[in-house]
């Protein structure tokens, strides 16, 4: 029983959340997106591993339960999160969402990057993110786009990601 049977379905138990994150490129850093190490000449600058995709999804989940943003739970002023694995942080966010009485029904996301080409890594990202959140990979969408050389992503100054989620207070 999922709590979503037609006789008991109540749309008031649904919540959506959205998230957005951006990180600049930096020399001497790994490029990690969706928990996948992606070969590139530069990585992303940040206190943690700067996984912009995991951060946007974390913010979407937190938004869905009105829990603020990832910086509230894992401040960049706390040395404990220096170079932290963002999938570990995402797993903690998913646990927090469940502790608030919600289940994660679906997550969809978009990564905007002129380079590198991300499509070869999409399925590994989906699997990593699904595992971290404790959901089926079928409930995690990851898309990649360029910005046709427009904006900071198009000038290859950094990468941004957006995410949306659907949550349910199913219990």
3-state SS record for 43-66? EECCCCCCCHHHHHHHHHHHHHCC
- Kindly state the tokens that stand for 167: 């949550």
Query: Looking at residue 12, what is its pLDDT?
Result: 85
* Whether pTM exceeds 0.85: yes
Tokens 């993110």 sit on residue: 129
Among residues 81, 78, 21, which one has the least CA distance to residue 49? Answer: 81
pLDDT, one tens digit per residue, over 84-103 is 899 999 999 999 999 999 99
List the one residue out of 53, 60, 57, 88 whose CA is nearest residue 74.
88
Q: Is the pLDDT of residue 159 over 60?
A: yes
């Amino acid at each position: 029983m999922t709590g979503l049977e037609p006789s008991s379905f109540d749309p008031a138990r649904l919540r959506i959340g959205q998230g957005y994150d951006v990180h600049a490129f930096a020399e001497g850093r790994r490029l990690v997106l969706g928990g996948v190490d992606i070969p590139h000449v530069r990585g992303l600058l940040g206190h943690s591993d700067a996984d912009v995709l995991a951060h946007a999804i974390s913010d979407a989940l937190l938004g869905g339960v009105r829990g603020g943003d990832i910086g509230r739970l894992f401040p960049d002023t706390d040395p404990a999160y220096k170079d932290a694995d963002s999938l570990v942080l995402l797993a903690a966010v998913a646990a927090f969402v469940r502790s608030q009485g919600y289940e994660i029904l679906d997550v969809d996301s978009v990564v905007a990057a002129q380079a590198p080409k991300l499509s070869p890594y999409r399925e590994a990202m989906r699997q990593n993110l699904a595992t971290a959140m404790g959901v089926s990979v079928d409930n995690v969408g990851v898309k990649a786009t360029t910005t046709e050389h427009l904006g900071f992503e198009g000038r290859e100054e950094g990468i941004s990601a957006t995410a949306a989620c659907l949550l349910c207070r199913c219990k």
